[in-house]
Structure 1
Amino acid sequence: MTAAGTEGPPISAQHRDTAVRRLQEAYAEGHLSDEELDERLRTALTATTPGGLDSALAALPEPPPDATATITGTGTGGWIRRRGAWSVPRVLKVASALGRVRLDLSRAVIAHPVVDIELHLGTGGANVIVPRDAVVDLSGLHAGLRAPRYRPRQPARAGGPTIRISGGLGLGRLRIRHARW
């Protein structure tokens, strides 16, 4: 195993953290010995390209696919909030007829290169904070009365996740911004 891979573009700290978490899970499940874990962690932490991370994760069993998660706001004040270090599934469906939605992905654990967020909003609005290096795709979103507010970062840094937002907005407005740090 090489300490740092030489193939591919630079990796982000988030990708490195995801690889370290996979190694720790594999160790906890008994797939790695103490020595193997130490060696692979050293490789993952010093990797600068995807090839370096791939060598650290070689021959590990594939993680189980994440199921689609659905979050529904209930009642007249049905706020939906997610913030901090929460685990973002590959597909996240969010539905709120009357309440507001706030999804803060800036500190979330995003283990997938592409995350699909399906929004189905009635009268409430939504605020989404994406990681600083994320690429946002709004091509599948159908705006209601008010167009979404989003100003892409120029240029976006390589290695960040792609956040695809789709679904429909009613009377509310979707606001998207990149984290400041």
Structure 2
Amino acid sequence: MPEEPSPRISEGVRDAAVRRLQEAYAEGHIADEEMDERLHRALTAEAHSELESALASLPAQDMGTTSTISVGAGRIRRHGAWRVSRHLKVESAFGRVNLDLSRAVLEHPVIDIELQLGTGRARITVPRDASVDVEGLNTGWKDLDYKPGRHSRRGGPTIRISGAMGYGKLKIRHARRVTGTDR
């Protein structure tokens, strides 16, 4: 029986691999010639195994911390210049969630947000240049409301949203205004 072809590499995954190589080079873990070869492999990789070979033998990546915001009933609201950890878990049984990442301090190229929401609405505003991945999200009763940004530029952070929504609606929007990170 023939093997199923491996899924194609998304631009967000490829961009994260390139950033990882650049960080390793800047820290002195990769020589000039090796950097050129690894970048070429990362940029031309068609399968995840090829991409992994470009990242092989790099030192362990700092995955950042995991933060949890939890409330039984009520509101969760974060906006302004708040620091977002690499992994953010948001839990709410009943209530509203409003996460505005447009002016947040994003220190990692990929941010994972895990939602565990029962009932209520949720809204996430991402930076204009962010790419959003919602493949790991299970919406229960209502569909996801997400319109990719029309003016998005490459090179911004990747926001991966996963988890489960019960009886609420999730809206994801790109910021309209230009922030300091968009310049």
State the TM-score bracket (shorter-chain normalisation): 0.5 to 0.7
Aligned residues: 127
Aligned-pair CA distance for 1:124: 1.2
Alignment equivalent of 1:117, drawn from 98, 113, 120: 113
Aligned-pair CA distance for 1:156: 2.7
Alignment equivalent of 2:100, drawn from 104, 109, 112: 104
**1:146 aligns to what SS in structure 2?**
coil
Structure 1 runs (4+) deviating above 6 angstroms are none
Structure with higher RCO (Cα < 8 A, 6+ apart) = 1
Mark the runs of 5 or more structure 1 residues left unpaired by the alignment.
1-49
Q: Which amino acid aligns with 1:80?
A: I
**2:132 aligns to what SS in structure 1?**
strand
Q: Which amino acid aligns with 2:85?
A: P
CA distances 1:115-148 after superposition (whole Å, capped 9, x unpaired): 0000011011100000000001110000111001
Aligned-pair CA distance for 1:63: 9.8
Determine which structure has the larger strand proportion and give its number. 2
**2:95 is the counterpart of 1:89:** no
Match of 1:66 in 2: 64
Q: Which amino acid aligns with 1:104?
A: D
CA distances 1:70-122 after superposition (whole Å, capped 9, x unpaired): 11013x3x210111101110010000000110000000000111100000110
Aligned-pair CA distance for 1:64: 6.2
Partners of 2:87 and 2:27 lie apart in 1 by 26
- Flag the 1:64–1:152 CA change in 2: closer, same or farther, 3 A: closer
**1:79 aligns to what SS in structure 2?**
strand
TM, length-normalised to structure 1: 0.63
Aligned-pair CA distance for 1:154: 3.4
Partners of 2:142 and 2:167 lie apart in 1 by 7
Mark the runs of 5 or more structure 2 residues left unpaired by the alignment.
1-18, 29-59, 178-183
Is the Cα contact below 8 Å between 2:128 and 2:151 reproduced in 1?
no
Partners of 1:164 and 1:65 lie apart in 2 by 14
Alignment equivalent of 2:165, drawn from 160, 165, 169: 169
